[in-house]
A and B are shown apart, each in its own frame.
Chain A
Amino acid sequence: MKNTISFSTLPDFDLLTPSSLNEVLELLNQYKEKSRLLAGGTDLLIELRQRLKAPEVLIDLKKVSDLQTIRITDDELIIGAVTPIIEILTLPVVKEEFNALYQALIDLADEIIRYRATLGGNIGTASPAADSAAPLYVLDAQIEISSLSDARTIPITQFFTGVKSNILSTDEVITSIRIPRPLKGTKSAFMKAKRSSEDLAIVGVACLHNEKRTSLAYTAIAPTPLLIDITDFKLEKREDLNQTIFERIWEKILPNLNPIDDVRSSKKYRIHMAEIITRKILKEALE
């Protein structure tokens, strides 16, 4: 493992501070792979310090107010990509209707980090352990992406392409995350296993359950987050989840899991915790 303490300075780069989305897109178009977008910096500055990336310019997104709005309409919640996580948490509807997202964000990093860390940055890093990914998967989030020449909206399930890689090309920026308002009576939740209060997850699990659909999503247990639909098991109430049914559900999930051994946990323990949390989160959703 690299000794981060020896990296007491950052490498050289220029910081550019555009004040509108259009300026961001023009700069991205000009610098492409020579640039990196800077939101809260709570992932990027660490990667720079560890010399994992060497951009010539950083394009700071924090002065672009259009990227920091958060809105609820009749149909959806629209979160500007650069909205600090602490602000997302203050909107009551997030807890009321998007509980899985609320639970993931309230426990993401620590309170001081949440003042700066953003939702766009959390998925932008495309870490397999990104806490927001599991709730965004079960909640059917859409990612809005722009470049100078184009704009597109893709489902979150297509965003992650591998460990720390995503579908963005070098001239694209995430502008917002759109989440449809779930059906009345929907329950959603997120739980994770971790070593200490501010450590990355050993495994993260989100669940969504309503009269039409039951699905689970996992982080930190495969190169990208995973979405698994278990509607076919026709779970309606707590009693439906007996040992036999749970074993059949787990048989469906297990072949998809492909965790690594690392400092946080062994593969075996990750899978063990995934099973325990899956059972617990399903039980609670069916209460």
Chain B
Amino acid sequence: MIKEGTRPTKTLSVILNGQKRVTEIQSNETLLDVLRNKFQIKSVKAACWVGDCGICTVLLDEKPVKSCLVLAQETMNCTITTVEGITHNDKLTELQDAFIRHGAVQCGYCTGAFLILGHYIINQQQRFTFSEIQEMINGIICRCTGYLQIIESILEVNEKQFR
């Protein structure tokens, strides 16, 4: 077995929140490690490191992934979006605004993950029901809100798209 910490580094290049970013990585680093430690993206959090909590969710090539289950190397030349990348000119998105109005943010630990997944759901340009949204978000855990406020926020913005 190879001794831990002896691997040479590799150069990773990605489009993170619309900007080209380059950094040196080790082969065993996850996308989660690199986002938080190399790119200082702190909206992405972790709680389990084994795919259960969903708190580390980001968009990889426009699809949701749990970043603790993705190797950083696998994202070479890919597009990555986090909450830092969804606002325009520092103005809150409609979904962020809905989260505040509905009380979908309490301690806030899960908020980055739900916002980025909600952003993905809304970008589908498809009308979803309450229970479909409930099913789509069931990979992320929130210990404070009870989910209802989160689902209602996403539903409200989704419904507005079709008015």
Interface residues of A (CB under 8 A from B): 4-5, 7-15, 17, 38, 40-42, 45-46, 49-50, 54, 56, 58, 60, 62, 109-113, 115-116, 197-198
Contacts and interface: CB of A to CB of B under 8 A. Distances in A.
Task: Describe B's contact surface by its main secondary structure.
Answer: loop
Contacts of B65: 112, 115-116
Interface of B: 1-7, 26-30, 33, 48-52, 54, 57, 63-66, 68-71, 73-74, 117, 135-140
A60 B27 CA distance: 13
6 contacts: A12-B5, A12-B7, A13-B27, A15-B74, A110-B139, A111-B64
**Which 8 pairs of residues, A with B, have the shortest CB-CB distance?**
A110-B139, A112-B139, A10-B28, A46-B50, A197-B138, A112-B64, A12-B2, A54-B1
B74 A13 contact: no
Contacts of A197: 138
Contacts of A11: 4, 28
Given A8-B49, A109-B139, A45 B5 contact: no
B7 A115 contact: no
B131 to A, nearest CB: 13
B66 to A, nearest CB: 6
Nearest to B26: A12
Nearest to A106: B135
Given A110-B54, A112-B66, A112-B139, A12 B71 contact: no
Task: Describe A's contact surface by its main secondary structure.
Answer: loop
A112 B6 contact: no
A61 to B, nearest CB: 11
A198 B138 contact: yes
Given A10-B28, A11-B28, A13-B2, A41 B138 contact: no
Contacts of A116: 65, 69-70
Most chain B CB inside 10 Å of its own CB: which residue of A14, A54, A60, A112 = A112
A111 B138 contact: yes
Contact of A9 (B28, B74, B140): B28
A87 to B, nearest CB: 11
A280 to B, nearest CB: 22
Nearest to B121: A111
Given A4-B50, A13-B7, A13-B28, 20 more contacts: A4-B49, A5-B48, A5-B49, A9-B28, A10-B29, A10-B71, A12-B5, A12-B7, A15-B27, A15-B74, A41-B71, A45-B51, A45-B68, A46-B69, A56-B2, A111-B136, A112-B54, A113-B66, A115-B65, A198-B139
Contacts of A41: 69-71
A56 B1 contact: yes
B126 to A, nearest CB: 13
A15 B10 CA distance: 11
Contacts of B51: 42, 45-46, 109, 113
B28 A12 contact: yes
A130 B33 CA distance: 29
B26 to A, nearest CB: 8
